[in-house]
Protein backbone atom coordinates (compact mmCIF):
# COMPACT_ATOMS: atom_id res chain seq x y z
CA UNK A 1 0.00 0.00 0.00
CA UNK A 2 3.04 2.22 0.27
CA UNK A 3 4.01 1.64 -3.36
CA UNK A 4 2.39 4.82 -4.55
CA UNK A 5 3.54 6.27 -7.83
CA UNK A 6 4.94 9.41 -6.17
CA UNK A 7 6.82 7.43 -3.61
CA UNK A 8 8.34 5.23 -6.24
CA UNK A 9 9.25 8.25 -8.28
CA UNK A 10 10.90 9.97 -5.37
CA UNK A 11 12.85 6.82 -4.61
CA UNK A 12 14.15 6.70 -8.17
CA UNK A 13 15.13 10.35 -7.90
CA UNK A 14 16.75 9.52 -4.60
CA UNK A 15 19.08 7.10 -6.32
CA UNK A 16 19.67 9.23 -9.41
CA UNK A 17 20.43 12.17 -7.20
CA UNK A 18 23.40 10.47 -5.66
CA UNK A 19 25.25 10.83 -8.94
CA UNK A 20 24.72 14.56 -9.21
CA UNK A 21 27.81 16.60 -9.93
CA UNK A 22 29.22 18.59 -7.06
CA UNK A 23 30.05 22.16 -7.94
CA UNK A 24 32.52 24.05 -5.83
CA UNK A 25 31.39 27.42 -4.61
CA UNK A 26 32.37 29.90 -1.96
CA UNK A 27 31.02 29.58 1.50
CA UNK A 28 28.09 31.89 1.86
CA UNK A 29 26.91 34.10 4.62
CA UNK A 30 24.55 31.36 5.76
CA UNK A 31 27.43 29.03 6.48
CA UNK A 32 29.48 31.81 8.03
CA UNK A 33 26.61 32.65 10.31
CA UNK A 34 26.17 29.04 11.26
CA UNK A 35 29.83 28.78 12.16
CA UNK A 36 29.76 32.02 14.09
CA UNK A 37 26.82 30.71 16.11
CA UNK A 38 28.54 27.44 16.77
CA UNK A 39 31.78 29.08 17.76
CA UNK A 40 29.94 30.74 20.59
CA UNK A 41 29.69 27.37 22.28
CA UNK A 42 32.62 25.43 21.02
CA UNK A 43 35.95 25.41 19.33
CA UNK A 44 36.39 23.08 16.37
CA UNK A 45 33.87 20.61 17.65
CA UNK A 46 34.02 18.33 14.69
CA UNK A 47 35.93 17.95 11.50
CA UNK A 48 32.82 17.16 9.50
CA UNK A 49 33.06 16.62 5.75
CA UNK A 50 31.42 19.52 3.93
CA UNK A 51 30.66 20.09 0.30
CA UNK A 52 29.88 23.41 -1.33
CA UNK A 53 26.65 23.19 -3.29
CA UNK A 54 24.51 25.53 -5.36
CA UNK A 55 20.81 25.01 -5.62
CA UNK A 56 17.75 27.04 -6.50
CA UNK A 57 15.30 27.28 -3.62
CA UNK A 58 11.91 28.79 -4.39
CA UNK A 59 13.43 30.62 -7.35
CA UNK A 60 16.50 32.03 -5.59
CA UNK A 61 19.99 30.66 -6.04
CA UNK A 62 21.57 29.58 -2.77
CA UNK A 63 25.20 28.64 -2.27
CA UNK A 64 25.82 26.60 0.81
CA UNK A 65 28.71 24.72 2.28
CA UNK A 66 26.61 21.76 3.30
CA UNK A 67 27.67 19.10 5.73
CA UNK A 68 27.60 15.84 3.82
CA UNK A 69 25.36 14.27 6.47
CA UNK A 70 22.61 16.88 6.17
CA UNK A 71 19.39 15.79 4.63
CA UNK A 72 17.62 18.21 2.33
CA UNK A 73 14.94 18.61 4.99
CA UNK A 74 17.59 19.55 7.53
CA UNK A 75 19.22 22.03 5.16
CA UNK A 76 15.88 23.70 4.44
CA UNK A 77 14.66 23.80 8.03
CA UNK A 78 17.77 24.46 10.08
CA UNK A 79 20.03 26.34 7.72
CA UNK A 80 17.74 28.19 5.30
CA UNK A 81 14.98 28.98 7.81
CA UNK A 82 12.29 27.24 5.75
CA UNK A 83 10.50 25.41 8.56
CA UNK A 84 7.27 25.00 6.59
CA UNK A 85 8.65 21.63 5.46
CA UNK A 86 7.82 19.32 8.37
CA UNK A 87 9.62 16.16 9.42
CA UNK A 88 7.14 13.52 10.57
CA UNK A 89 9.24 10.35 10.54
CA UNK A 90 12.67 11.17 9.04
CA UNK A 91 12.67 7.75 7.38
CA UNK A 92 10.50 7.90 4.29
CA UNK A 93 7.23 6.63 5.75
CA UNK A 94 4.91 9.59 6.09
CA UNK A 95 5.54 12.17 3.36
CA UNK A 96 5.18 15.24 5.57
CA UNK A 97 8.55 16.50 4.28
CA UNK A 98 7.62 16.29 0.58
CA UNK A 99 9.14 19.06 -1.57
CA UNK A 100 9.40 19.43 -5.32
CA UNK A 101 12.82 18.56 -6.69
CA UNK A 102 13.03 19.76 -10.30
CA UNK A 103 9.24 19.81 -10.22
CA UNK A 104 8.75 16.27 -8.95
CA UNK A 105 7.71 15.29 -5.41
CA UNK A 106 10.54 13.98 -3.24
CA UNK A 107 10.82 13.09 0.43
CA UNK A 108 13.32 15.68 1.63
CA UNK A 109 14.10 13.59 4.74
CA UNK A 110 15.38 10.83 2.48
CA UNK A 111 17.33 13.09 0.10
CA UNK A 112 20.79 14.25 1.10
CA UNK A 113 21.32 17.99 0.78
CA UNK A 114 24.37 17.46 -1.45
CA UNK A 115 22.23 15.51 -3.90
CA UNK A 116 20.23 18.68 -4.52
CA UNK A 117 23.32 20.36 -5.93
CA UNK A 118 22.53 22.01 -9.25
CA UNK A 119 18.85 21.30 -8.88
CA UNK A 120 15.73 23.30 -8.17
CA UNK A 121 13.80 22.88 -4.93
CA UNK A 122 10.31 24.21 -4.27
CA UNK A 123 8.88 24.20 -0.75
CA UNK A 124 5.51 25.23 0.64
CA UNK A 125 6.92 28.73 1.23
CA UNK A 126 7.46 29.00 -2.53
CA UNK A 127 3.83 28.49 -3.48
CA UNK A 128 2.51 31.93 -2.55
CA UNK A 129 3.26 34.58 -5.19
CA UNK A 130 3.03 38.32 -4.45
CA UNK A 131 1.04 37.70 -1.31
CA UNK A 132 -1.47 35.55 -3.19
CA UNK A 133 -1.98 31.94 -2.21
CA UNK A 134 -2.39 29.47 -5.05
CA UNK A 135 -5.77 28.13 -6.07
CA UNK A 136 -4.81 24.87 -4.43
CA UNK A 137 -3.90 26.57 -1.16
CA UNK A 138 -7.18 28.52 -1.27
CA UNK A 139 -9.07 25.27 -1.81
CA UNK A 140 -7.21 23.74 1.16
CA UNK A 141 -8.45 26.70 3.24
CA UNK A 142 -12.03 26.56 1.92
CA UNK A 143 -12.39 22.78 2.25
CA UNK A 144 -10.75 22.45 5.69
CA UNK A 145 -7.96 20.25 4.34
CA UNK A 146 -5.62 20.89 7.29
CA UNK A 147 -6.68 19.66 10.71
CA UNK A 148 -3.52 19.72 12.83
CA UNK A 149 -1.72 20.98 9.73
CA UNK A 150 1.44 18.96 10.14
CA UNK A 151 1.06 16.93 6.93
CA UNK A 152 -0.38 19.86 4.97
CA UNK A 153 2.80 21.10 3.29
CA UNK A 154 3.55 17.62 1.98
CA UNK A 155 0.00 17.12 0.73
CA UNK A 156 0.14 20.51 -1.01
CA UNK A 157 3.44 19.77 -2.74
CA UNK A 158 2.33 16.34 -4.02
CA UNK A 159 -0.98 17.81 -5.19
CA UNK A 160 0.76 20.76 -6.86
CA UNK A 161 2.90 18.34 -8.89
CA UNK A 162 -0.17 16.28 -9.77
CA UNK A 163 -2.16 19.25 -11.03
CA UNK A 164 0.81 20.46 -13.07
CA UNK A 165 0.99 17.17 -14.95
CA UNK A 166 -2.75 16.40 -14.90
CA UNK A 167 -5.03 19.44 -14.47
CA UNK A 168 -8.21 17.33 -14.35
CA UNK A 169 -7.52 14.30 -12.16
CA UNK A 170 -10.23 11.94 -10.98
CA UNK A 171 -10.67 11.36 -7.24
CA UNK A 172 -8.88 8.03 -7.59
CA UNK A 173 -5.97 9.65 -9.44
CA UNK A 174 -5.70 12.17 -6.60
CA UNK A 175 -5.63 9.37 -4.02
CA UNK A 176 -2.92 7.58 -5.97
CA UNK A 177 -0.80 10.70 -6.36
CA UNK A 178 -1.10 11.52 -2.65
CA UNK A 179 -0.77 7.94 -1.38
CA UNK A 180 2.71 8.72 -0.06
CA UNK A 181 1.38 11.50 2.17
CA UNK A 182 -0.11 10.22 5.41
CA UNK A 183 -2.61 12.20 7.48
CA UNK A 184 -3.12 10.83 10.99
CA UNK A 185 -6.05 13.19 11.54
CA UNK A 186 -7.24 11.05 8.62
CA UNK A 187 -8.76 14.06 6.91
CA UNK A 188 -8.33 12.24 3.60
CA UNK A 189 -11.86 12.99 2.36
CA UNK A 190 -11.42 16.75 2.76
CA UNK A 191 -7.95 16.78 1.17
CA UNK A 192 -9.25 14.98 -1.94
CA UNK A 193 -12.22 17.36 -2.09
CA UNK A 194 -9.86 20.34 -1.89
CA UNK A 195 -7.69 19.06 -4.75
CA UNK A 196 -10.79 18.38 -6.84
CA UNK A 197 -12.06 21.89 -6.15
CA UNK A 198 -8.72 23.42 -7.15
CA UNK A 199 -8.77 21.42 -10.37
CA UNK A 200 -12.30 22.64 -11.09
CA UNK A 201 -11.15 26.27 -10.77
CA UNK A 202 -8.37 25.65 -13.24
CA UNK A 203 -5.15 24.63 -11.70
CA UNK A 204 -2.58 24.34 -9.01
Partner 1 sequence: MAVDPMDTIGRNFPRVDAYERVTGKATYTRDIKLPGMLYARILRSTVPHAMIRRIDTSKAEALPGVRAVITHKTHKIVYGSGSISGGRQYSDAHKDITTRLRYTFNEHVRYVGEPVAAVAAVNRHIAEEALQLIEIEYDALPFVLEPENARKPGAPEIWPGGNIAHDSENRQQAIGSRRGNLEAGFAAADQIFEDRYTTQFVQDAQMEPRSALAHWEGEKLILQTPTQGVSNCRHDMARDLGLEDHQVQVICQYMGGGFGDKNGNYYFDLIAAALAKDLGVPVMVELSRKDDWLGTHGRWPTVQDFKVGVKNDGTLTAIQLQALSGMGPYLRRSGNISGMDVYACENTERSILPVHTNRMVSGNFRAPTYPQGYFALQSMLDDVAYKVGVDPVQFALKNMVRPTESIQFTNYALDQCIEQGAELFDWANRWKPVPGSGEGPIKRGAGMAFMMFNARVGASSAILRVNSAGRYTVYVGVTDIGPGAKTTMSLLAAETLGVPLSAVDIVWGDSDRCPYSVGESGSRTTTMTGYAVVEAARDLKRQIAEHGMPTGEDVLVASATPAPTTGNKLREGFGAHFAEVEVDTHLGHVRVTKYLTVHESGRILNPLPANDQIRGAVLQGIGQALHEDLLYDSNNGHPLTSGYYWARHLTHLDAPVIENTFIETDDGFGPYGAKTVGESGIIIAPAAVANAVFNAIGHRMKELPITCAKILEVVA
Which lies closer to partner 1 via its Cβ, residue 24 or residue 36?
36
Burial class of residue 125 (count of CB atoms within 10 Å of its CB; 0-12, 13-18, 19+) = middle
Torsions phi, psi of 22, nearest 5?
A: -105, 120
DSSP 76: I
Compute the distance between CA of residue 118 and CA of residue 46 in angstroms, rounded to an integer. Answer: 27
50-57 vs 120-122, strand pairing mode: parallel
Residues lying near partner 1 in the complex (CB under 8 A): 1-2, 4, 38, 40-42, 44-46, 48, 67, 69, 77, 82-91, 93-94, 96, 123-125, 127-128, 133, 137, 140-153, 156, 174-176, 178-192
Residue 73 CB partners (closer than 8 Å, separation 6+): 85, 87, 90, 97, 99, 108, 109, 111
Smallest distance, partner 1 to C-beta of residue 69, A: 6
Report, in Å, the least distance between residue 10 CB and partner 1: 15
The Cα–Cα gap between 199 and 191 comes to: 12
**Minimum distance from residue 79 beta carbon to partner 1 (Å):** 11
CB of 15 to partner 1, least distance (A): 19
User: CA angle at residue 75 from 80 to 145, to 5 degrees?
Assistant: 80
* Residue closer to partner 1, measured from CB, 65 or 67: 67
| Least distance from partner 1 to the Cβ atom of residue 85, Å | 7
Amino acid sequence: MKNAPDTEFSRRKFIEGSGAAIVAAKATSVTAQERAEESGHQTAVEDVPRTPITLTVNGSERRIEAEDRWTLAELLRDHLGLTGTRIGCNRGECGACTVLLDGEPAYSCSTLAVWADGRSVQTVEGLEKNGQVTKLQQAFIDYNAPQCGFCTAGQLMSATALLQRNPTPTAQQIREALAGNLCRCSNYNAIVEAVQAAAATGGA
